[in-house]
Amino acid sequence: MTQPKNVFHLAEPPYPLQEHLGFYLTDWREGYARFELPIETFLMNRYSILHGGVHSVMADTVMGYSGCFTGDPDRKELAMTLNLNVNYVGRLVGKTLIAEGRTTGGGAKTFFAAADISDETGAVAARATGVFRRRGS
């Protein structure tokens, strides 16, 4: 599978799990991040629907990124998940999972975020919230 190349200068190379699953960053700015994942058969569960763990990984990742944008590729910031809550609300019907994360509050070290997991048709599969701790690179 050929993955689209990140088009903005602040994009980081994929980390190992990201590369393995095939998701990629499509937008990243202060308080917001977006990842996309082509829905492939190896991501399905026994019911032949997208495994719930994929929703969780995508929510966790996109929320963490939403609170770590610095605007400077030489000043990398990372986040560690303190709490993750995922509510499954529907089923995706499209071909691409879209994870959008937004920071919702917090301070210098700890931040709160929310995520929506949907597809290109607008179907929403999950909503998540999380608490994260910023850590230097």
Least confident of 2-6, 43-47, 111-115: 2-6
pLDDT above 60: residue 10: no
pLDDT of res. 62: 98
Average pLDDT over residues 73-95: 94
| Confidence (pTM) | 0.91
Edge-first strand order for the sheet with 24-29 is 24-29, 32-38, 96-106, 110-119, 124-136, 77-88
The closest alpha carbon to 99, from 48, 134, 135, 64, belongs to 64
For 35-76, the pLDDT digits (tens) are 999 999 999 999 999 999 999 999 999 999 999 998 888 888
The pLDDT value recorded for residue 11 is 65
pLDDT for residue 8 is more than 60: no
Domain 20-136 has CATH 3.40.50.740: no
The domain spans of the chain are 20-136
- What is the percentage of the chain residues whose pLDDT exceeds 90? 80
